Amino acid sequence: MLSVIYFYELKYWLKQPTTYIYAFIFLALATGLMTGFAGSFDEISTANGPLKWANSPINIHKIFGLFKELILFLLPVIIGHSVYRDFKSEMHSVLYTYPFSKASYLFAKWLSSTTIVILLTSMIGLGCMIGSILPSVNPGLIGPTLLSVYLHEYLVYLIPNVLGFGAIIFAVVILTRSVYSGFVAVFVLVALEQISTRIFVSLNLLDLLALFDPFGQMAVQYYTHLWTVVEQNTSSLPLRSLIIYNRIFWLMLSASIFYFGYSRFQFSHSGSIFSWRKSPRSKSRKSTFGSISKIALPRANYQFSFIDHLKSCWKLSQIDFLYIIKNGTFMTVLVVGFLLVLFTLAQMNPQYATKLLPVSWLMLLFPTFFFLMVVHLLTFLYAGILIQRARNSKMNQLVDVTATPNWVLLISKVLAIIKMQIVLLSLIMIAGVLIQTINGFFEYNLGLYLFHLFVINLTACVIWAFLAIFIQTLVTNMYIGLFLLILAAAGFGELHLLGIETDLLKFNQNPDPGFILSYSDMSGYGAGLVPYLLYKTYWTLCGLLLIFGAWTLWIRGFPGNFLARLSIAYNRFNRNSSLVFALLAAAFISMGYIIHAGQESGETDLSLTRTASNDSFEKYASLTQPRVTDVYLDMHIYPEKRSFKVVGKYTLVNLSNISIDTLIINYRSDVNTTCVDQSTVLMTLDETKNMELFRLATPLQPGDSMIFEFEVKNVSNTLFKKNSPIEQNGTFLTSHMFAPGIGYKSDDLDMPHPTDSLARQNMYRSQDADFINFETIVSTSADQIAIAPGYLQKDWIKDGRRYFHYQSTSPVTNDYVFNSGTYAVAKETWLHGKDSVALEIYHHPSHTYNLDRMMRGLKAGLEYNSKYFAPYQHKQARIVEFARSLGNYGQSYANTLPLSEVSFVADVHTDQVGNIDKLYGGIAHEIAHQWWGHQAIPAGTRGYALITESMSEYVALQVTKHEYGLSMLEAYTEQSLRTYLKQRAKVNGKESPLIYNNGQDEAHVPYQKGSLALYALSEYLGENHFNQILRKYLHQVRFKSAPYTTSIDFLKVLKNEIPDSLQYLVSDLFEEVVLYDNSIEEVKVTALDDGTFEATVDFKVSKYNSGAQGIRTYQTTAAPKVADEVMTLPLADYIEIVAYSSEENGNLKIIHRKKYKISETENKLTLTLSQRPSRVAIDPEHLLLDANLKDNFKSL
Amino acid sequence: MSLSISNLSKTYANGVHAIDQLNLDMGAGMFALLGPNGAGKSSLMRTIATLQLPDTGEISFNDIDVLSDPMKLRKVLGYLPQEFGVYPKESANNLLDYFAILKGVSSSKERRILIEKVLELTNLTDVRKKHVSGYSGGMKQRFGIAQMLLNDPKLIIVDEPTSGLDPAERTRFLNILREIGTENTVIFSTHIVDDVKEICNDMAIINGGQVLKHDTPTNCLDEIKGLIWLKQISRAELEESEATYNVLSSNYNTDHSINLRVHASEPSEGFEPTTPQLDDVYFIALQNVNNTHN
């Protein structure tokens, strides 16, 4: 019997046109994705090292992962529907009397529908194969096609997932006899996955995450996330313990749920859990049969005016809305969604290195990301349900003969959906306020909540609702409608994969792909708000056209087939409706034109009129140019216009011994620069995009000086594009954004080698000056304070604008910054011997949360650097807050440290193990730059960041350790090490050694690895001793101009000062890319008679050279020859072994800590310990760069 | 009060001629549409009820041109399809409120009074808070009437309303219809001839999308007075008799004998005269068509 039903069902599905639609879509999507990955739609040069193959096992796994949601969607639609069909058509009351067993009925249904789903998913594999052999793909991105890869993917992941989750959905549907609960089950499953991922990631339980991830993807990632490109291309997917356990766990779980459903299922008319019949008639009294009564209806007014129709619209929408929210499906989604939002909010760290306070904009940031997808999904679903509602319950004829026009019915559905969206969005607000309250943070910004949710987010949701209503009206099968909509939602953002670039064709998308409408307490939504709203207006008009389309296609009565519907639609264009259509279409097209024109318009950027490539100036690269010695600027900041203008004067001195008759000026992009004084600069001889070569009126003789005057304005802003870094409040404007430079400037981002003597003539942040005298008068609006490097001489108000005069008293580097905002100022004084330094924090008035911590960090940094290295060169240190729309980092200029708003709302806790005070360390880091960058000034060569970033971050590590102790330091170094390893994996293991790295695209090398390397040396040599070496180096180079110092200078000092036994460290850490693979293998503890304990520790030490391309080898330039079977570079390393015991309160106490000299990979150590050890660890401070930290300790 | 249909034709996409050059006029009162399954009754009623457009032809009700201004007709139209459902898990009260809004009663007070009245008329007051989807067949049909009454309709179209009702429900249902039919035009289709006999003042028999006969029930019966004959035969004689006589209908008696009704101007041997019934009219009308087609 089973096989009869099985094949009957198969035939049923194979006869459904929808089956083929799904199959086609899967095939097309997979083909498109594969060709996209294989570079059909973009140009990829093959110059930069190994390329990732589009059809490598791991990438195929990723492509399959992208289909997860679509496959999940098929489960209720096909597997759930296979039984639901029988309930829905009431066929079951007939069917269940037939002579077949429950087992054969259910298994046949489940197996047949599962077969269909698996057949459909096989289209993905087929699509991938087709995609990889299409002629348009880049052959460099395609590896060999291996059938085994696909087999592995299907057998280990796809088929078990379909079997397992299909069984769960099937069980849910047979128990509830509702296919909608199948959808809810899918939703719950996805929500569970999200929640568990967040929990496990936040607790750092990655192995548990790998074990319990429903789809097994995390288990794969667990083993593969550190794979380099070569490994990704060639290795097949691992089939290791966690993956196998994961698969077994989920199959067992779904089997038990299936069994539960199976055993509870009965062949009966109504379901076993919910019954759709209300409990039968309590007293069904039949009275007065046959009595004849006069039909006299009370008089009622039947109103059909336009106003009355609008009223009906509202009332009908209320009824549909109540239907939605009273529905069990919706309530489940609502509750689960709410919990998810609450949970996300309670977590809310992931995006920033430091946890932030629950400020309102943050509350809106995280949940909207996930929750909006839920809102869209429910919109798609309920658009279908509402539009099909009357037809599905066979009430449509009763509705269709009433005198209510189609548009009233249609609009009432739209309104109901919008009301639902408002309810959903309100949840974010409720959850946000709840979380803020729980955290004791009572500064609710209700206005922001309302505006963000009900203006910014709701418009986007409503536009989707318009599309959903249209599609669900057009397609009478709700599932196909839903499928198309999900596809559209996922697809419009990815149109660029198909080469469609204009965003006017990307439904409901934002102005550009990178567009983020972020809110700042300082500058609000900034310049992005207007374009956002204009785009939403454009798409709203498009949506209204779609609603018009839905109106023409609205089904009333029995219109017949699709062609007949089209002809009815055509007939619905009468005079009124044509007018509405014409108006909408005209508005839509003109809005599109306005946007298009607005994007193209704006004042011309002068650099665009100069067309020649900068390369043509390379011939002037060696031309002798004067140096800038004095800078005077009249800076005008216009916050309300988001513009600035600066009139400046450079004093140029000919420091060479030849006469100079030409001057090259290089301009910054996005600004228009004009030379003001035409008498000095005669005529243009040559020009490129960003540079101009002038003839000087009088040649500049050696030792002579001249004044160069210029004016710079930002390219004027348009409605769509802000061309200046000026914000309404919290401006952060650096000299790199506007100040013209002298001399040839290369476009080449790659830095010269530190041995390049020509390159050593210039410091790392300026090519035309050494030290300058800096003076500026900066003006801003009357309510703002403007800040620039130097000391304030005077401030005054004139013509409604506020002026500040700043001047530096000692020469500074030619690198400066302007800030402007409505600030409050916190002041303190730091006393150091006889000197006192004024500490100031310019902050947004309400951002007072971390001022104390910042002051402490500032003092700690000043203290540490002046104690060990050299005195502070200024009388003042200022932290200045800038809007988060301009970045979330900090930077260090002469006596001025601009710092992002984000740091000001950091929520730092230091009371638990594992907490790190990154803000304290971060401020110390920035102030340390006043030494490392402003006293020791490296040349603009590779390795410069070792002198600036590594040193500053090293200071951050040290002050953190001194303030908070070793346990926070270990957490800090562990985090740094993890960041380093993760970033390293992202750039595929490519890495240059510390002294040669260029700091731009591998920031993790100087920051994380550099600071760890310096810290390791300080631990091996002793902090004091090591700092003496740094001091020695600093004093050698302090305030030295050309030739500027380089990483090589530092290395020389280091090598001279370090004992021979540790020289290996210098070469491993600074000259090579060497990583370790250490592990504690086994620990045996025996209690001795005298009350002490003996622990035998087996541990492995191995180090390897990872090289520039991330390929593991066991040789270096220092040790070129080594036998491969040893699997390590030669060892003579000092490695720390630490034993801990547990204290009463659960904390760990160090009972043994010693560095051992290791020369073998396999080691055995016997420790005599005073207490029973509970944990033994190798290198817990992370002095060595170990790529695998999981096996570095053993808990006993 | 008159409904006039002329030259109405409708062919479905699958080629079925559901309505074929149909002409029909009716005034106030109860009008019965008789015909076998698939005769085109439902298609005709749907077309009058503005649920589908004919290919050709015209329909007018009083001064309303139904095809060009369906909205105008809908204001005075009551329609109960052969098979209908309602939103699940909604009470009669809520559903009636919903329909009252759709039918243009914008004052909520008026809606409440109106709903109370129609519930009372259809004897559903006691169960007004129960889910209509859980009603028995008769209650559901009465609910259908209740919603139909909400807009005080002048033209009422009911498609096979009494099939599946128990005798008491059927009587009650017909009484309500009859009551409405005194002042308005009520079209109702049925294949239960008894329904017609009891309450209709006009009737039409249709098949193949065409009107076979259109007259009052009384006239129809008068026409065949003295032309219907009855004979009791045994089961074995049936085939032969059917070949011999113009048999209208045959039905079993409790003793396994068969009553044979025959349409003929002169009695044959063994036949006795009998009172004509509407069934006879119906069968004669259908026979005539078959004969002409043969």
Q: Which residues of A touch B106 (CB under 8 A)?
A: 301, 303, 308, 311-312
CB contact (8 A) between residue B101 and residue A312: yes
Q: Which residues of B touch A288 (CB under 8 A)?
A: 123
CB contact (8 A) between residue B51 and residue A400: yes
A733 with A726: CB under 8 angstroms? yes
Task: Give yes or no: residues B111 and B249 share one domain.
Answer: no
Of the partner residues A284, A301, A403, the one whose CB lies closest to the CB of residue B107: A301
Q: Is A1181 helix (H, G, I), strand (E, B) or coil?
A: coil
Residue given tokens 């049969």 in the structure block: A289
Token pair in block for residue A673: 């620069």
CB contact (8 A) between residue A303 and residue B88: no
Taking CA–CA distances from B102, the nearest residue in chain A reads A404
Task: Give yes or no: residues B191 and B259 share one domain.
Answer: no
Token pair in block for residue A1146: 């659960």
The shortest C-alpha distance from B216 to chain A (Å) reads 24
CB contact (8 A) between residue A558 and residue B46: yes
Token pair in block for residue A1049: 């200078």
CB contact (8 A) between residue B51 and residue A389: no
Q: Which of B215, B232, B265 is the last residue of a domain?
A: B215
DSSP assignment string, A951-1005: HHHHHHHHHHHHHH-HHHHHHHHHHHHHHHHHHHHHTTT----GGG--SSS-THI
Q: Is A290 helix (H, G, I), strand (E, B) or coil?
A: coil
CA A1123 to chain centre: 44
Nearest to A180 by CA among A382, A425, A424, A383: A382
pLDDT number for residue A273 = 44
Q: What's the CATH code of the domain at B228?
A: 3.30.70
CB contact (8 A) between residue B51 and residue A278: no
Q: Which of B194, B215, B236 is the last residue of a domain?
A: B215
A31 with A211: CB under 8 angstroms? no
Nearest to A401 by CA among B282, B71, B9, B198: B71
Task: Give yes or no: residues B191 and B279 share one domain.
Answer: no
Q: What's the CATH code of the domain at B191?
A: 3.40.50.300
Q: How far apart are CA A998 and CA A749, in angstroms?
A: 9
Taking CA–CA distances from A279, the nearest residue in chain B reads B134
The shortest C-alpha distance from B288 to chain A (Å) reads 33
Residue A284 half-sphere exposure toward CB, CA atoms < 13 A: 9
Task: Give yes or no: residues B210 and B226 share one domain.
Answer: no
pLDDT number for residue B292 = 55
Nearest to A702 by CA among A654, A662, A663, A743: A654
At B16, give phi and psi (nearest 5°).
Answer: -75, 130
Task: Give yes or no: residues B268 and B133 share one domain.
Answer: no
- Buried-exposed string A308-331: b where 16+ CB fall within 10 A, e elsewhere: bbeebbebbbebbbebbeebebbe
CB contact (8 A) between residue A293 and residue B81: no
Indicate the residue type of B174: L
CB contact (8 A) between residue A401 and residue B51: yes
Task: Give yes or no: residues B211 and B230 share one domain.
Answer: no
- Whole-angstrom CA distances from A577 to A515, A582, B68 are 37, 8, 16
Q: Which residues of B touch A397 (CB under 8 A)?
A: 46, 49, 51, 79, 81, 84
Nearest to B169 by CA among B201, B144, B193: B144
- Buried-exposed string A1110-1121: b where 16+ CB fall within 10 A, e elsewhere: bebebebeeeee
pLDDT number for residue A896 = 93
pLDDT tens per residue, range A1028-1044? 999 999 999 999 988 99
A395 in contact with chain B, both atoms CB, cutoff 8 A: yes
User: Which residues 318-357 of A are in CB contact (within 8 Å) with B?
Assistant: 319, 323
Task: Give yes or no: residues B264 and B171 share one domain.
Answer: no
Of the partner residues A297, A311, A398, the one whose CB lies closest to the CB of residue B117: A297
Task: Give yes or no: residues B14 and B160 share one domain.
Answer: yes
Residue contacts between A and B (CB atoms, under 8 Å):
152
pLDDT number for residue A24 = 81
Taking CA–CA distances from A294, the nearest residue in chain B reads B179
A571 in contact with chain B, both atoms CB, cutoff 8 A: no
Q: How far apart are CA A508 and CA A463, in angstroms?
A: 7
Total number of domains in chain B: 2
Task: Give yes or no: residues B210 and B115 share one domain.
Answer: yes
A787 with A821: CB under 8 angstroms? no
User: Mutate which of A302, A303, A567 to test chain B, going by most B C-beta atoms within 10 A?
Assistant: A302
The shortest C-alpha distance from B111 to chain A (Å) reads 8
Q: What is the largest CA-CA distance in chain A?
A: 125
Helical (H) or strand (E) element with A875:
none
Nearest to B95 by CA among B137, B132, B135: B132
A269 in contact with chain B, both atoms CB, cutoff 8 A: no
- Is the ipTM reported for this complex over the cut 0.95? no
User: Mutate which of A317, A325, A398 to test chain B, going by most B C-beta atoms within 10 A?
Assistant: A398
B107 in contact with chain A, both atoms CB, cutoff 8 A: yes
B187 with B159: CB under 8 angstroms? no
The shortest C-alpha distance from B217 to chain A (Å) reads 23
3-class secondary structure for B185-202?
A: EEEEEECCHHHHHHHCCE
B260 with B233: CB under 8 angstroms? yes
- Buried-exposed string A500-535: b where 16+ CB fall within 10 A, e elsewhere: eeebeebbbbbbeeeeebebbbbbbbbbbeebbbbb
A444 with A433: CB under 8 angstroms? yes
CA A765 to chain centre: 29
The shortest C-alpha distance from A182 to chain B (Å) reads 19
A650 with A627: CB under 8 angstroms? no
As beta bridge partners, residue A631 has A650, A774
A442 in contact with chain B, both atoms CB, cutoff 8 A: no
Task: Give yes or no: residues B126 and B249 share one domain.
Answer: no
User: Which residues 202-231 of B are in CB contact (within 8 Å) with A?
Assistant: none
CB contact (8 A) between residue B75 and residue A297: no
User: Which residues 291-320 of A are in CB contact (within 8 Å) with B?
Assistant: 291-295, 297-298, 300-304, 308, 311-312, 315-316, 319
User: Which residues 11-70 of B are in CB contact (within 8 Å) with A?
Assistant: 12-13, 46, 49-53
Beta strand pairing call for A1103-1105 and A1074-1076: antiparallel
Task: Give yes or no: residues B99 and B239 share one domain.
Answer: no
The shortest C-alpha distance from B19 to chain A (Å) reads 15
Token pair in block for residue A284: 């069904």
Q: Which residues of B touch A316 (CB under 8 A)?
A: 98, 101-102
Q: How far apart are CA B92 and CA B144, in angstroms?
A: 10
User: Mutate which of A285, A291, A388, A395 to test chain B, going by most B C-beta atoms within 10 A?
Assistant: A395
A399 in contact with chain B, both atoms CB, cutoff 8 A: yes
A394 in contact with chain B, both atoms CB, cutoff 8 A: yes
The C-alpha torsion from B10 through B12 and B16 to B18, rounded to 10°, is: -30
User: Mutate which of A311, A397, A555, A568 to test chain B, going by most B C-beta atoms within 10 A?
Assistant: A397
Task: Give yes or no: residues B179 and B286 share one domain.
Answer: no
Cβ neighbours around A950 below 10 Å, total:
29
Average pLDDT, chain B: 88
Q: Which residues contact A752 (CB under 8 A, 6 or more apart)?
A: A758, A759, A940, A941, A942
Of the partner residues A277, A399, A561, the one whose CB lies closest to the CB of residue B102: A399
B21: left (phi over 0), alpha (psi -120 to 50) or beta: left
Print the domain residue range for B91. 3-215
pLDDT number for residue A350 = 44
A320 with A382: CB under 8 angstroms? no
Q: Which residues contact A52 (CB under 8 A, 6 or more apart)?
A: A59, A141, A229, A232, A233
Taking CA–CA distances from B168, the nearest residue in chain A reads A289
Beta strand pairing call for A1162-1169 and A1103-1105: unpaired
Q: How far apart are CA A234 and CA A127, in angstroms?
A: 21
Taking CA–CA distances from A394, the nearest residue in chain B reads B85
Q: Which of B188, B215, B242 is the last residue of a domain?
A: B215
Taking CA–CA distances from B80, the nearest residue in chain A reads A398
Taking CA–CA distances from B12, the nearest residue in chain A reads A560
**Sign of the CA dihedral A856, A861, A867, A872?**
negative
pLDDT number for residue A990 = 78
Cβ neighbours around A680 below 10 Å, total:
18
Residue A25 half-sphere exposure toward CB, CA atoms < 13 A: 19
Averaged in consecutive runs of 10 residues, what is the pLDDT profile of chain A (1196 residues)? 85 84 83 76 45 81 83 87 78 66 86 93 90 79 84 90 92 85 82 77 78 84 76 80 89 91 75 44 46 75 90 94 84 75 62 72 76 85 91 91 94 96 92 85 92 93 95 89 84 58 69 73 89 91 96 91 90 92 95 83 62 74 90 95 93 92 86 76 72 86 91 85 88 92 81 87 88 95 94 93 93 92 95 89 95 96 95 94 89 92 89 84 95 94 93 96 90 89 77 84 87 94 95 94 92 93 90 90 90 91 82 70 66 89 79 90 90 89 84 84
User: Which residues 116-155 of B are in CB contact (within 8 Å) with A?
Assistant: 117-118, 121, 123, 126-127, 130-131, 133-134, 136, 144, 147, 149, 151-152
As to burial, measured by CB atoms within 10 angstroms (0-12 exposed, 13-18 middle, 19+ buried), residue A431 is buried
Sheet holding A817-821, edge to edge: A731-734, A817-821, A785-787
pLDDT number for residue B74 = 94
Token pair in block for residue A42: 């973009």
As beta bridge partners, residue A798 has A801
Helical (H) or strand (E) element with A793:
strand A791-798
Cβ neighbours around B188 below 10 Å, total:
25
